[in-house]
């Protein structure tokens, strides 16, 4: 796992080194550069995971006409290498060198053959072109901008912002999307003119022009027929695919551990990892003193069942005061999922013992694990109620429910549910899990912001995602939006920032594209039976994990934020949101 950065066009060697220096937390072990004045600069920071002695980058082909820098892991690199060795000379044992020679043979079709998480930059000196590519689900970040014929890129915004050609200007349309989604969806960023390379795409910069192409269509699996005759057949197939995905991700030349929250997804990944390992693995979890949020007992139960060496810590709200300033420097642009804080905390805790960790990310989005999927089943009953009754009687009563501070409390769920009913079916889930409604945002914004936004589409990101999948049933559209927006743009983004802040590589077996495609091809009743989400995953694991884990309701990896803001963090909140400070900051 590493940090990459560079430019094609204007830039000095000193600038290149400064850009790479901003990514030191992503790669504290080594650095490497390739620089030709007024032509090309590639910078690299390394976190050593595989081939510890020979893995520094850039890595070149035999005649030095192709250079690659790369952040991530290619899990099928050995299989690819075996097919390339007859035609190419290898001098390292790295997955990076496989990319160099695969590009020589396949050109831009190479990305279709990769199984992994990656952000890749390839310089083709013969054709004088740069190629930037990102993995299918955007696990690894990659930013770019084009300024006066110079293309500048980096693993994080801070690297791009370090180039002297960059000017910082707030993008108000991105800001508006942030207040809807609590993150900024690709390809936009908070800065005007700076973009994210989208998941499953590659960008070619040649002769001063950029061209973006998709190499994988995430939506295609939804159109595939059910791959098995019965749910038992599907369970056997799911078992094979998860097992293979975990096996790939256990490859490491440094210590590897497990994130074990106590939920079904992480417990499933930990079960397979420990079963496939020849020795007990280290598992890590954090707990909270507030029982409603604490899953440490469940994590210990799973660890005892699978035989991992378990480590746990209790998260103290006082520590948030020290963590927030550090995280704000690292995330570069707004993201408001509070789970980034415990993720950072458990990553820092795990990094004391391991350099790589497996996580259960993706299970809820693949197998309909969120309570909003249940809410979508209730909608048809509510829609039978006359609108006048709903508006004049039911909604006012719902809004009178007293506020509580439990984890996704009943009053919150009911209020949010009725709030979402006023929107198109494709937008309801965004309202249910988001921050502000379009109407609330108009009250929040100053007149200056309102004038800049004009007639902006509050659901533009959703409409963009749904373009081309209009034919899918509504429930598939909802699943697809969760995967494309909430999972890729929010969860995977903050997981990367929180873990790489402490130089920890996190791998997500459930997001192997073979598992994702399989899950997306399954009929809905295999994923949600009645109101039970993740049905097929529960059936897969019912004889492998304790019943308390199989039958537990989803809790999520969240903090008791509302309670803390009323108590331990109240002074911090009042200081940050004071009228004086807001006026001063603009």
**CB atoms closer than 10 angstroms to residue 386:** 9
pLDDT, position 23: 96
Banded pLDDT at 83 (limits 50, 70, 90): very high
Copy the structure tokens of residue 280. Answer: 């007990």
Least reliable range by pLDDT among 172-181, 226-235, 348-357, 417-426: 417-426
pLDDT, position 48: 76
Banded pLDDT at 462 (limits 50, 70, 90): very high
Q: How far is CA 4 from CA 35, 228, 264, 424, in A?
A: 14, 42, 34, 41
Averaged pLDDT for residues 560-573: 85
Q: Where on the phi/psi map is residue 181: left (φ > 0), alpha (ψ -120 to 50), or beta?
A: alpha
**Residue 480 above 60 pLDDT?**
yes
pLDDT, position 563: 82
C-beta separation of 195 from 188 below 8 A? yes
Residue 74 CA to residue 315 CA, distance in Å, equals 34
Averaged pLDDT for residues 371-383: 85
Q: What whole-number percentage of the chain has pLDDT above 70?
A: 93
Averaged pLDDT for residues 308-322: 88
**Residue 318 above 60 pLDDT?**
yes
Averaged pLDDT for residues 208-212: 96
**Residue 349 above 80 pLDDT?**
yes
pLDDT, position 315: 84
Q: How far is CA 574 from CA 323, 435, 559, 567, in A?
A: 18, 20, 19, 11
Q: Which residue in 2, 183, 234, 270 is the catalytic one?
A: 2
pLDDT, position 491: 96
pLDDT, position 115: 97
pLDDT, position 393: 62
pLDDT, position 392: 59
pLDDT, position 384: 61
pLDDT, position 404: 55
pLDDT in tens, 491-537: 999 999 999 999 999 999 999 999 999 999 999 999 999 999 999 99
pLDDT, position 219: 96
Query: Catalytic site residue 270?
Result: no
Strands 505-507 and 356-358: parallel
pLDDT in tens, 107-166: 999 999 999 999 999 999 999 999 999 999 999 999 999 999 999 999 999 999 999 999
C-beta separation of 155 from 5 below 8 A? yes
pLDDT, position 555: 67
**Residue 289 above 80 pLDDT?**
no
**Residue 13 above 80 pLDDT?**
yes
Residue 401 CA to residue 213 CA, distance in Å, equals 50
Q: How far is CA 382 from CA 370, 397, 400, 478, in A?
A: 20, 15, 19, 19
Q: Residue 227's closest CA among 533, 488, 529, 536?
A: 536
pLDDT, position 47: 82
Strands 143-147 and 194-196: antiparallel
pLDDT in tens, 231-276: 999 999 999 999 999 999 999 888 999 999 999 999 999 999 999 9
Q: Give all strands (DSSP E) within 155-199, no chain letters.
A: 194-196
In angstroms, the first-to-last Cα distance of the chain is 38
**Residue 430 above 80 pLDDT?**
yes
pLDDT, position 327: 85
Strands 256-259 and 356-358: parallel
């Amino acid at each position: 796992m590493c940090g990459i950065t560079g430019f094609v066009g204007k830039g000095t060697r000193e600038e290149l080194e400064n850009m790479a220096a901003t990514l030191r937390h992503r790669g504290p072990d080594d650095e490497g550069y390739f620089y030709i004045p007024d032509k090309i600069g590639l910078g690299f920071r390394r976190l050593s995971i595989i081939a510890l002695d020979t893995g520094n980058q850039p890595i070149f082909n035999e005649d030095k006409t192709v250079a690659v820098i790369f952040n991530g892991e290619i899990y099928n690199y050995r299989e690819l290498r075996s097919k390339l060795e007859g035609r190419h000379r290898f001098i390292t044992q790295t997955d990076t060198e496989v990319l160099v020679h695969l590009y020589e043979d396949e050109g831009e079709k190479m990305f279709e053959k990769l199984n992994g998480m990656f952000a890749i930059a390839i310089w083709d000196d013969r054709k004088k072109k740069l190629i930037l590519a990102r993995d299918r689900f955007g696990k690894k970040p990659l930013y770019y901008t084009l300024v006066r014929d110079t293309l500048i890129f980096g693993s994080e915004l801070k690297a791009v912002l370090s180039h002297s050609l960059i000017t910082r200007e707030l993008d108000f349309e991105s800001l508006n999307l942030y207040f809807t989604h609590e993150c900024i969806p690709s390809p936009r960023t908070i800065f005007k003119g700076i973009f994210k390379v989208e998941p499953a795409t590659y960008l070619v910069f040649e002769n001063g022009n950029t061209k973006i192409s998709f190499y994988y269509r995430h939506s295609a699996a939804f159109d595939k027929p059910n791959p098995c005759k019965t749910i038992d057949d599907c369970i056997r197939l799911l078992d094979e695919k998860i097992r293979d995905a975990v096996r790939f991700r256990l490859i490491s030349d440094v210590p590897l551990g497990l994130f074990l929250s106590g939920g079904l997804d992480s417990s499933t990944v930990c079960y397979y990892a420990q079963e496939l390992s020849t020795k007990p693995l280290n598992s890590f979890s954090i707990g909270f003193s507030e029982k409603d949020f604490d899953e440490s007992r469940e994590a210990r139960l799973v660890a005892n069942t699978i035989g991992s060496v378990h480590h746990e810590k209790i998260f103290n709200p006082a520590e948030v005061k020290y963590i927030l300033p550090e995280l704000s420097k690292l995330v570069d642009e707004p993201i408001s999922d509070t789970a980034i804080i415990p993720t950072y905390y458990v990553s820092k805790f795990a990094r004391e013992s391991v350099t790589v960790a497996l996580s259960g990310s993706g299970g809820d989005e693949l197998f309909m694990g969120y309570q909003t999927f249940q809410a979508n089943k209730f909608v048809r009953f509510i829609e039978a109620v006359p609108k006048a009754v709903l508006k004049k009687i039911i909604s006012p009563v719902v809004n009178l429910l007293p506020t509580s501070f439990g984890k996704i409390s009943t009053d919150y769920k009911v209020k949010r549910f009725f709030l979402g009913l006023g929107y198109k079916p494709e937008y309801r889930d965004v309202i249910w899990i988001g921050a502000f409604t379009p109407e609330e945002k108009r009250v929040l914004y100053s007149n200056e912001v309102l004038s800049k936004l004009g007639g902006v589409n509050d659901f533009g990101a959703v409409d963009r995602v749904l373009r081309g999948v209009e034919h899918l049933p509504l429930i598939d559209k909802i699943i697809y939006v969760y995967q494309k927006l909430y999972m890729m743009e929010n969860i995977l983004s903050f997981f990367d920032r929180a873990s790489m802040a402490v130089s920890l590589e996190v791998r997500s077996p459930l997001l192997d594209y073979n598992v994702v495609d399989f899950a997306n091809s399954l009929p809905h009743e295999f994923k949600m039976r009645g109101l039970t989400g993740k049905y097929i995953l529960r059936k897969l694991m019912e004889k492998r994990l304790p019943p308390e884990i199989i039958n537990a309701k989803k809790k999520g990896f969240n903090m008791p934020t509302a309670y803390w803001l009323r108590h331990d963090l109240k002074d911090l909140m009042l200081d940050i949101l004071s009228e004086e400070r807001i006026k001063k900051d603009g």
